[in-house]
Structure 1
Amino acid sequence: MAPHTDRTDRPLPKDERAEHRMLDVGSTRLHLAEYGGTGTPLLMLHGFPQHWYAWHKVAGQLSDGYRLLSPDLRGFGWSPITRRGYDMDSLAEDALALLDTLGLERVGLVGHDWGAHLGFRLCLRAPERFTGYLALNMTHPWPRHRAVLPNLWRLWYTAFVEYPVLGRAVLRHWPGFTRFLLRHQVADPAAAWTQAEIAEYAAATAHSAPAVQSLFWQYVLHDIPALVRGTARRQRLTVPTLLLGGERDNVVVPSMLAGAERYADELRVRLVPAAGHHLPQERPEEVAEAIRELFAPFAEEV
């Protein structure tokens, strides 16, 4: 098992509905928060700068019948930091190994932000493991250059995160940077976040700085060259997918969500009015409704 830093002494955000455990998963250990012990299992993958608690509002909108599996990605939240393993293929191996550890052959998949990027990788790599996919606030693997290039400036903040020395220093010692991103990336900060939530994610990001920086850097090294080469054009998305975006998302703008239909068997795109980049936080009702819409037909299969 890879060396890791134990951070289990950090207090967890209070949510009496969630049960927590640490699991040995492949080459690492992952912290798992679970809502509901029975029902249709859904693997919920969080984004940056969050962890398992990103799903607490959505969980509150879902009645009995769903088992929400909300792991902290490697090095995030309460999952130990490892020296390596932050490229998408390694994170996909973590997710599949987690399903194996839990004895789950097939589940529904929900991802937000980086978790949604990972979700697409999982669907292309192991489509037989997923009944459907709900992707939130993330472009698909076949972006149109004419939509992406004019909007690259919106990713300015990644320059402060991805570089090995600078990124770790900013994330660890400048919590105001994380707080700014959380407020800047939603349509209505006062309605979206509590002060406690912002403080929690800023503190968590400081603890996870090596993992966060490594995740962004691996994207630069591997994913961007693959996008330029058009590697994904040789692959087809066979998992039924709903891509949900915010009408006022200032990171992944609506124009970046179109253009994947030719590479997918069943892909729909929908915009949530007056919402930004954090749909699980800003519009948990719409996210929960999309979950019921997409996964109810599979309740008897999993």
Structure 2
Amino acid sequence: MTVTSLPGVRLRRVTVDGTGLNVATAGSGPAVLLLHGFPHTWRLWTEVIGPLARRYRVIAPDLRGFGDSDRPADGYDAATLAADAAGLLEALDAGPAAVVGIDLGTPPAFLLAMRRPGLVRRLVLMESLLGDLPGAEEFLAAGPPWWFGFHAVPGLAESVLVGHEEAYVDWFLRRGTLGRGVRPDVRAEFVRAYTGGEALRAAFGPYRALPAGARQIREAVSGARLTMPALTLGAHPVGRSLERQLRPYADRLTGHVIPDCGHIIPLDRPEALLAVLEPFLAAEDDDRE
């Protein structure tokens, strides 16, 4: 286990079904699992790990293919990423956990809750869509974001972007914070994590598996409901689209939109995120009464 530059945060290697995952951990108490998106690593949670660790055991992995985790040839569909998350919780003896997913981390967080409800106490989903479930028509009126198609073509994006990774990552970081940008040390880690053809190839894996993920989500909601307390958090640009998608399938759903906030909520408006997230997690005490 190694120490990072963040006080109280340690890195460890956990192998799940043959895939080595780089995992940041901090704190003690009930587990909170944090699943990042693109172009992020576990350091997406830099500003919120410390506050959460005062009360919880925080577990923040690099998803397979991202950061310092292994980069297998396949397994980037939402169901496999959900199985990775389940295996990680079991390997750390950390379930049931509150599970938080953003961007590409949202579909696997959702499928984990649907397929393994015994491992998930509470669910938080942020700034993403759940496949092609109804409710996101307004967001998709002009078509999906352009990079979805660019990333989805096998071999294309990585061949174009090698040598230009820094500029490409910067575009997403600035757009995702409404032009404000992120801390230089965090930015540098993201750029490092996405530099090189193999790093890019793995990072685009979830985009290439989106059709499979959409099918897996449709199958999940056709036979079950989301029964644990759930929270959707929107910002710019997703807003309430995710909430509208999820509401028909969730028994206990709360929706919230953070104003003046870009897509990368944990780095753009961490205080506003914690102001909603911490009371939601703390409400577990009421559930047990």
TM-score computed with the length of structure 1 as normaliser: 0.84
Q: What CA distance in whole angstroms lies between the structure 1 residues aligned with 2:161 and 2:5?
A: 24
1:138 aligns with 2:124: no
Q: Which letter does structure 1 place at the counterpart of 2:16?
A: V
CA distance in 2, matches of 1:210, 1:63: 33
Quote the residue 1:273 is aligned against.
Answer: 259
What's the counterpart of residue 98 of structure 2?
108
1:199 partnered with 2:185: no
**Alignment partners' CA distance in 1, 2:90 and 2:234:** 30
Q: Residues 1-302 of structure 1: matches in 2 within 5 Å?
A: 14-36=5-27, 38-62=28-52, 64-140=54-130, 142-144=133-135, 146-153=137-144, 155-175=145-165, 176-187=167-178, 189-190=179-180, 192-207=181-196, 208-220=199-211, 222-224=212-214, 230-234=218-222, 235-246=224-235, 249-250=236-237, 252-298=238-284
**Residues 148 and 256, structure 1, Cα contact 8 Å, conserved in 2:** no
Q: How big is the alpha-carbon RMSD for the aligned residues of Structure 1 and Structure 2?
A: 2.4
Q: CA deviation at 1:256?
A: 5.0
Give the Cα–Cα distance (whole angstroms) in 2 for the partners of residues 104 and 24 of structure 1: 15
How far apart, CA to CA, are the structure 1 residues paired with 2:129 and 2:80?
A: 20
CA deviations on 1:115-171 (whole Å, 9 max, x unpaired) are 122111111111121110111112345332533430424x10223222111122244
Instruction: Tell me the residue number matched to 1:6.
Output: none
Q: What is the Cα deviation at residue 110 of structure 1?
A: 0.9
Structure-2 change in CA distance of 1:172 and 1:253 (3 Å): farther
Deviation at 1:31, TM superposition (A): 0.8
SS in 1 for 2:87: helix
Q: Give the residue type in structure 2 aligned to 1:22.
A: R
Which segments of 5 or more consecutive residues in structure 1 lack a partner in the other structure? 1-10
Structure 1 residues 180 and 239, CA gap change in structure 2 (3 angstroms): same
Give the superposition deviation at 1:183.
0.8
Aligned length: 281
TM-score for the superposition, normalised by structure 2: 0.88
List structure 1 segments (4+ residues) > 4 angstroms apart after TM superposition: 224-227
* Change beyond 3 A, Cα 1:28–1:271: same
Question: Does structure 2 conserve the Cα–Cα contact (< 8 Å) formed by 1:23 and 1:31?
Answer: yes
Cα distance, 1:18–1:180 mapped onto 2, change above 3 Å: same
Superposition deviation, residue 73 in structure 1: 0.5
Q: Deviations over 1:171-212 (max 9, x none)?
A: 43321122111111222x33x413343232122112421211
Give the whole-Å Cα distance in 2 for the aligned partners of 1:224 and 1:131: 24
Contact 1:243/1:270 (8 A) holds in 2: yes
Conserved in 2, the CA contact under 8 Å of 1:171 and 1:205? no
